[in-house]
Amino acid sequence: MTSERTRQRLVQRLQESGISNPMVLAAVAATPRHIFVDEALAHRAYEDTALPIGRGQTISQPFIVARMTELMLDAGPVKKVLEIGTGCGYQTAVLSQLVDEIYTIERIGALQDQAKERLQSMGVEGVYFRHGDGFQGWKEHAPFDAIIVTAAPMAVPQALFDQLAEGGRMIIPVGQHSGVQDLMLVEKRNGQKQVAMMDKVRFVPLQAGPVE
Ligand code: SAH
């Protein structure tokens, strides 16, 4: 159920859904998603679906992880990324194969501890963890070439836009917590916001934090 063939089927499905960047497809193929979910759900790890990870949170759908990563890379290589919402660390693991440094923030301490342990045991390098409030970003390490937000606020947080490098891009779901949100591509050009709506998505809410 966690075999090479099962993973290849997922990659094929992502391709059929419109993901075309070969580096992104290779990163998904190389990431053992079953390690990021509870053992009882491991048999569903290579389905293209979100799954519960405890504390009311989810592991994102592989298509969405691939889509956000592809959008991030569309304008060329990216070195330094800020990720908001580490969760189980799956998106972090995919990103780590494509960029040099990831600064990742999680609001729930218990989830962060698990993600950290998991990624470290996989030998993932260049990932820096913070238990904190993603609304604030991580000013000490700004500016970031890209910011990926994996929980939905009602509007683009200004602190995050401020920490985006000139020419950088943020991929962020924005909208009502209980409904469908817009996946937005926010670029910084001459210090100004340029916003494009990409997809309709469903994410858990971005909430003020941190909590244990
Ligand atoms: N990136 C994950 C998906 C995480 S789900 C994956 O690859 O599967 C969204 C995560 O965002 C949850 O773990 C939630 O606790 C976290 N979150 C919500 N609000 C946050 C905030 N203000 N700061 C940091 N993390 C937050």
Let me know if residue 16 belongs to a domain.
Answer: no
> How far, in Å, is the centroid of ligand 1 from the Cα of 171?
14
The verdict on whether 96 is a catalytic residue reads no
Query: Domain for residue 33, yes or no?
Result: no
| Gap between the Cα atoms of 22 and 28, Å rounded | 10
Mean pLDDT along residues 97-106: 98
Q: What confidence score (pLDDT) does residue 1 get?
A: 61
CATH number at residue 124: 3.40.50.150
Residue 60 lies in domain: 49-201
Write out the H or E segment, with its range, that includes residue 5: helix 4-16
Average pLDDT over residues 141-162: 98
Residue 1 forms part of a structural domain: no
Q: What is the pLDDT, as a whole number, of residue 2? A: 67
How many independent structural domains does the chain possess? 1
Ligand 1 pocket, residue 149 CB under 6 Å: no
Whether 35 is covered by a domain: the verdict is no
Q: Is residue 210 part of a domain?
A: no
Report the nearest atom of ligand 1 relative to the CA of 209.
22
**By percentage, how much of the chain surpasses pLDDT 70?**
99
Residue 204 confidence class, pLDDT cut points 50, 70, 90: very high
Q: pLDDT tens across 182-198, in order?
A: 999 999 999 999 999 99
CB 181 within 8 A of CB 206: no
Contact status, residue 63 vs residue 15, Cβ threshold 8 Å: no
Nearest Cα residue to atom 18 of ligand 1 = 206
Could you tell me if residue 22 is inside a domain? no
Q: Characterize 73-102 residue by residue with b for buried, 16 or more Cβ atoms within 10 angstroms of its Cβ, and e for exposed.
A: beeeebebbbbbbbbbbbbbbbbbebbebb
37's tokens: 């979910």
Report whether residue 147 contacts ligand 1, using a CB cutoff of 6 Å.
no
- The Å distance, Cα 86 to ligand 1 centre, comes to 5
Alpha carbon distances (Å) from 124 to 30, 127, 155: 12, 7, 32
Tokens of 59: 């592991």
Tell me, in angstroms, the distance from the centre of ligand 1 to residue 206's CA.
7
C-beta of 88 in contact with ligand 1 (< 6 A): yes
In a domain, residue 5? The reply is no
Average pLDDT, the chain: 96
This prediction has a pTM of 0.97
Q: For residue 111, which atom of ligand 1 is closest to its CA?
A: 13
Is 71 inside any structural domain? yes
pLDDT digits (tens, 9 = 90+) for 122-132: 999 999 999 99
